[in-house]
Structure 1
């Protein structure tokens, strides 16, 4: 058989990956794993499995409710006392929003100043490290002494705890702009701030949102820490009161509410990132998507 005939025979031969072969299932599985649906289905399946395991341990292990309440009882508590949890959630959410907005409003200008001024960067960067390594729980009582009980100490604690990742990631993003892109727009007559808005800002957005996503989750932690130390209302107050009463069901329900709040806030930031960062879905760079 000539080489040409061998090629034709091989072309006509049924492939092991054809429609009648078993590898069709792995291809479908690969397509599923690459789809956006998998981002929701796989975590959902894992959560359901863990909750089912939790329920089985409580139901068949003879665990007392004050030690570990059943997840179905926690859900019943969450929605059975919806009014109480909703009322206590309001001051916590307000502190999260205001403190987080304050952190962003302060972090971005500081990051910009550190990019454009070497003196500012050398003077401020060590102070940022020192502020980060100081335990926030140790600072919270000072806020109570200085500002009393109420929303202000919680707002300041939230701003302090989520400030560092935002400013550091923003600084990394602003400094990641390509020097040749900056020189190009400057050679075309653009000023420093025009170059900033055309090059540095869009280039830094992914890094900024990375810091913002870390910050929004830490904001929930900051609000609860402040409410633990001293507050008259909020989910943290409800949680610590229930802990003192050995009411594990309310403790778990409060933790679940805080988890839901943090998850929803993270999703909001994720949606904003998808809207404001061009080319994020397709993985294109800003230059490839025409943003420069």
Structure 2
């Protein structure tokens, strides 16, 4: 029975990750040992569970049925084990979260030192990804996104104040150019574009004032897909950049960048940590929420 449980756990890991290599790394074994264990399990069951090629692993029909039955059971076991944390003096375990780069810089980075000091037995794993990620399919415990992007069936907890975007340029850039005072003026400025990583769409700058909303298609400057690169381009005088005011704050405060059209950049709901509704929230995740909320 013990051997069957170990091999079934290995099967669930391979099925979830779709890779012997990644499953082996997660379980702390070699890929060859894991493959051998799965073949032994198939022999004992008398049915093939996995289709293997040199590049991929997929489930057979029998494998899909077994995985669908096993996954809830193993999740219940993980929840039960984590529940024991309530009897400990301090939370322990691991937390995997997926966050966009802006949240990594403005929400996660400022609290990392405090979190690791207060909860040394919790292992926090942060994946920085600007794409639209299904945290359930990705086996993340939680994600962080703007409130408007969080799905309604998730539990959402605010972890930042309201946010703003900002339009900025370098002082040298404005030495021989007038500062824009309305969105229409942007037609006379090179505006650094941002390509959305998931859809590949060129993001249109969203500006609003007194109930009037205007979208500006950036033109005349490079198109990038990294906020830090956009900031550097603005610092170098390439053109105007449009990104989160939080990440721009140090540059604006010390005068390296000049903010314009501030009255056209209203606040909007900030970042929320979200996670699936479940009967028991892991103690390690509760600890993270506590720190993110500044409690």
* TM superposition score category, shorter chain reference: under 0.3
TM-score by length of 2: 0.21
Looking at CA atoms only, which structure, 1 or 2, has the larger radius of gyration? Answer: 1
Relative to total residues, which structure has the larger helix share, 1 or 2? 1
TM-score by length of 1: 0.21
Relative to total residues, which structure has the larger strand share, 1 or 2? 2
